[in-house]
Chains A and B, each alone.
Chain A
Amino acid sequence: MTWIFAQADKPLIEWDWIWSHLDDIWDATAQHLYLTGMAVGIGIVISLVLAVIALRRPATYPTIIGASGLLYTIPSLALFAFLVPFTGLTNTTALIALVTYTILILVRNIVTGIREVPADIKEAAVGMGYERRRLFFRIELPLALPVIMAGVRIATVTIVGLVTVTSLLGLGGLGSFILDGFRRSIIFPTEIIVGTVLSVVLAAALDLILLGIQHALTPWASRTASS
């Protein structure tokens, strides 16, 4: 980077540019958040369904993990390139690719979280008259929440990074500043730094917010015997 910036006949940060492009920065951040939120949200729904299938029929688990693991290894650029002929340069293309990358992490954490619910708790619940569905939503899912939320946090941070790449599709997001900064005839460091710093800050901020949500949802997990 220092080499690139040294080539540029410009100061590292031009504050004037930032002040005059606040609207663009805000729009790009919002688009970045939108894609991240949608991808993780859709990913959670799909992963829950896959996790339920894997839990009901344990024989399917290796297949589900194998398939989502294979998708996970496809380079994001290649996947975008593959999808564009079908879905064009749209948010849909970006989301399909992004959701793909959340599934491995989320399915694995949901299944692990639920499998780790102690057998005695499940036995007590069933023995007192919980049916299967109620057991899942009232006992297993809440108790798996710490492990599931850990997966959601990893998936979110991963997706914030990947959304930067989707700017190649011309879909905006903070990556568009980085791209634009490099594309100019003379490299423009301010844009590159704004794009990079904001995506890092966004990832860290989302991680903290999710951690806060996790603590709020699982007050029982942080309390232990005082005596």
Chain B
Amino acid sequence: MPEPMIRLEAVTKTYAGTPEPAVDALTLDVPEGEIAVLVGPSGCGKTTTLKMINRLIEPTGGDIVIGGLNILDLEAHELRRRIGYVIQQIGLFPHRTIAQNIATVPSLLGWDRAEIAARVDELIDVVHLDPEMRDRYPSELSGGQRQRVGVARALAADPPVMLMDEPFGAVDPIIRSKLQDQFLELQAELQKTIVLVTHDIDEAIKLGDRIAILNVGGILEQYAPPADVLRDPANPFVADFLGSDRGLKRLGLIPISTVKLDPGPVLPPTATPAQAHPVMERYGIDWIAVGEGEHLNGWASAETIANATTLRDVDLLPFQTTLQQSDSLKEALDAVVSSHTQIAAVFDGDRFLGMLTGEEISREITQ
């Protein structure tokens, strides 16, 4: 493994006057370009850990190294200007316009005016803000818009490392999901090394390349990619924290393309009802799908085909729910349980690839 961008080595924080450490000998590597999510119940030291990385809280033991440089080798304010920082309440400066807010760190670094103005324009575009917002004050913006400004401000000096403390915590759930999606798109492009704190396990699973599950007292219970954590929780604490719908959450991470599809109860239009019966029996269903090769025409019930000579003569019904192979198994399961046919047809664009049954999906969970 190449040198990680951020390395925490036996990092400990004991607050004066308390015997128990808030964070206890935490060791954690964050590879370059990845999002590491710190998640856990309150009192687990996740925010303390995050704030030790930009020295808002000074560790009482251990080392933190960013890009090969021990963070204690820099003045705290110089270190912080090299690290993007986003907090839950966003903390925009109410007396400064959106453009001035975004320009915060470049101004502190002494960039010249033209350079700053160009960078601000670029960032307003990057985070999908209306350019008209440029000269407004934060109080004139909606919660979602403020969150974008907060992200733009953190990105302004193009820091390789970003720290985000509940960055989507202050926006309502519908906007949150949209902002998370846009954040992931942005990250795919920018490839920052990000440490993100959340208390929401679903957010951790959605955003993290790796998730660190912390227990009270800053004890690291497990640190692995979300799919691994969901498949193999290290201990009962992790399993409990993941919740009883752990299997479902895991399905959400697995794309249909990784599963071998069943050809499905599909017969060509030239087939006869007599040929259809054994197929229906084999699948234990009372309907048959009609199609050829990569084209799926539709389906018909056993009753409607009873008097036909070939399946070509039957009026076919369309499949109500179809899936793309990039969809997750969770979406597939939803399609299966909510469709009349109990089987979901999977496509790549218009190309019919095969079918998924509930059985196959559950096999994937229990694996």
Contact = CB atoms under 8 A, between A and B. Distances in A.
Interface of A: 118, 120-131, 134, 139, 142-143, 218-221, 223-227
17 contacts: A120-B89, A120-B91, A121-B91, A122-B91, A124-B85, A127-B163, A128-B80, A128-B104, A128-B154, A129-B78, A142-B95, A143-B93, A220-B94, A220-B95, A220-B139, A223-B140, A224-B139
Contact of B87 (A120, A223, A224): A120
Across the A-B interface, give the 3 residue pairs with the lowest CB-CB distance, nearest first: A124-B91, A129-B81, A120-B89
Contact of B92 (A124, A219, A225): A124
Interface residues of B, number: 30
Interface in B76-129: 77-81, 85, 87-96, 104-105, 108
Nearest to B94: A220
Interface of B: 54, 56, 77-81, 85, 87-96, 104-105, 108, 136-137, 139-142, 153-154, 163
Given A127-B80, A129-B105, A223 B137 contact: yes
B56 A127 contact: yes
B85 A218 contact: no
Contacts of B153: 128
Given A128-B153, A220-B95, A223-B139, 9 more contacts: A123-B87, A124-B85, A124-B90, A127-B54, A128-B80, A129-B80, A220-B137, A225-B139, A225-B140
Contacts of B92: 121, 124
Contacts of A126: 56, 80
Contact of A124 (B87, B95, B137): B87
A77 B193 CA distance: 68
B50 to A, nearest CB: 10
Nearest to A121: B91
A125 B91 contact: yes
Contacts of A121: 91-94
A225 B141 contact: yes
B148 to A, nearest CB: 15
A130 to B, nearest CB: 7
B118 to A, nearest CB: 20
Contacts of A128: 80-81, 85, 104-105, 108, 153-154
A223 to B, nearest CB: 5
Given A225-B142, A226-B140, A218 B91 contact: no
Contacts of B56: 123, 126-127
B91 A129 contact: no
Contacts of B90: 120, 124
Contact of A129 (B93, B108, B141): B108
B139 A139 contact: no
Contacts of B137: 219-220, 223
Contacts of B141: 225
B47 to A, nearest CB: 11
Contacts of B54: 127
Contacts of A226: 140
Nearest to B89: A120
Contact of A131 (B77, B79, B85, B94): B77
B95 A143 contact: yes
Contacts of A218: 95
B85 A130 contact: no
A121 B93 CA distance: 6
Residue among B54, B78, B95 with the most chain A CB within 10 A?
B95
Given A128-B81, A131-B77, A123 B91 contact: yes
Contacts of B104: 125, 128
B79 to A, nearest CB: 8
A134 B95 CA distance: 15
Contacts of A123: 56, 87, 91
Contacts of B139: 220, 223-225
A61 B163 CA distance: 36
A127 B140 contact: no
Contacts of A219: 137
B235 to A, nearest CB: 34
Contacts of A118: 89, 91
Nearest to B137: A220
Given A223-B137, A224-B140, A125 B87 contact: no
A148 B331 CA distance: 57
Q: Which of B77, B104, B105, B154 has the most CB of A within 10 A?
A: B77
Contacts of A220: 94-96, 137, 139
Nearest to B170: A120
Contacts of B93: 121, 124-125, 139, 143
Contacts of B81: 128-129
Count chain B CB atoms within 10 A of each CB in A130, A142, A220, A224 and give the residue with the most.
A220
